[in-house]
Amino acid sequence: MTLLTAVFAAISSTIVWYFKDGGNQFRVGTLSLMYWGAALMWLVDAFFEYAETGAGYFTPLPSDMLNDFFLGISVVALGLIIWLALLLFKDPKNVVKRALQKSDAS
Amino acid sequence: MACFVVPAAEAVVTTVVHKLVTAKEKKEGITSQQHGDLSTKIPFSHKLKWLNNMLWGGSALLAFEHIWHGEVTPWFPFLSSADSASETAEMLHEMSTAGVAMAVLVTGVWLGIATISSFIEKRPQQNIEIGR
């Protein structure tokens, strides 16, 4: 479930990057690469778990599935927080800089 | 247990390499692709940044998963499996199998992306207008 959540986050962010941020001005490309990196790593994890448990891997307990989904959503949120911090730090539209200058002037 | 340590270690190496390559390209006058400029070739340092982002991002998110499962602790030795010899051996085995496989897969996918991007660069620019 965590893998699936990360894959959907990676696909969604890649689509947003392609249609809205091709030049990576708002770092959506960076966000999608982060999610793709995590998704690939969880894919390896899933492969090893499948090798250990066999077909049982595809029939998890509902409580495990819920916990994994909760973890997946939290991971997506963490990725967005990292991206937001990066965006505000890079400040491509000088919004933060202008706001700081405004507060300095007043 | 601590499989994310292997791609994180690779990320440290690729970050250092990225800094060196960027400095070399700057010296040679190779600049990063301008926004929207499709005529210039993408510098290698720019492509290396894609690998950095995948490795750092993936490792950070996996580290969070390990904190979630209580495998990473805020106190020394920071890994719960480093408490006993048998668990340490299991952790090292996981790092050498799953951890290495993660690093290899991410690097392999990056190599694929870099190769495909080289082909796309050589391709004549398409003038397709969507929705018309």
Scan residues 74-103 of A and list those with Cβ closer than 8 Å to B: 74-75, 78-79, 82
> Residues A25, B35: contact at Cβ < 8 Å?
yes
Written as one letter, the residue type at B55 is L
- Are A41 and B57 in contact (CB < 8 Å)? no
Length of chain A equals 106
Residue B57 has pLDDT above 80, yes or no: yes
- Does the model's ipTM exceed the 0.90 cut? no
Distance from CA of A15 to the nearest CA of B (A): 15
Q: For the residues of A9-62, what is the DSSP string, one character each? A: HHHHHHHHHHHH-TT-TTSHHHHHHHHHHHHHHHHHHHHHHHHHHGGGGGS--H
Is the pLDDT at A12 greater than 90, yes or no? yes
Contact A34 B68 (CB under 8 A): no
Q: Tell me phi and psi for residue B79, to 5 degrees.
A: -120, 125
Q: Is B7 on the interface with A (CB under 8 A)?
A: yes
- DSSP letter string, B31-88: -PPPTT--SSPPPHHHHHHHHHHHHHHHHHHHHHHHHHTT-B-SSTTSBGGGSSHHHH
> What is the nearest CA distance from B111 to chain A, expressed in angstroms?
13
Contact across the interface for A48 and B55, Cβ inside 8 Å = no
- The pLDDT value given to residue B128: 58
Distance from C-alpha of B43 to C-alpha of B14, rounded to nearest angstrom: 15
Per-residue pLDDT tens over the stretch B63-117:
999 999 888 887 777 778 777 888 888 888 889 999 999 999 999 999 999 999 9
* Domain edges within chain B: 5-26+43-113
Domain count, chain A: 1
Partner A contacted by B54 (CB < 8 A): yes
Chain B nearest CA to A54, separation (Å): 17
- The per-residue pLDDT for B35 is 47
Yes or no: say if A29 and A17 are a contact pair by the CB < 8 Å rule.
yes
Q: Using a CB-CB distance cutoff of 8 angstroms, which residues of chain A are in contact with residue B62? A: 38, 41-42
Q: What is the mean pLDDT of chain B?
A: 85
**Cβ contact B1:B65 at 8 Å:** no
Which of A55, A59, A80, A51 shows the shortest CA–CA distance to A1? A59
Q: Which of B108, B97, B93, B99 is nearest to B59 (CA)?
A: B99
Over pLDDT 90: what percentage of chain B? 47
Contacts of A74 in chain B (CB under 8 A): 64, 68
Give dist(CA A84, CA A78) in Å, integer.
10
- Which of A30, A12, A64 lies closest to B60 in space, CA to CA? A30
How many interchain CB pairs under 8 A, A with B?
A: 82
Expressed as residue numbers, the domain containing A82 is: 2-105
Question: Measuring CA to CA, which residue among B46, B42, B58 is closest to residue B6?
Answer: B58
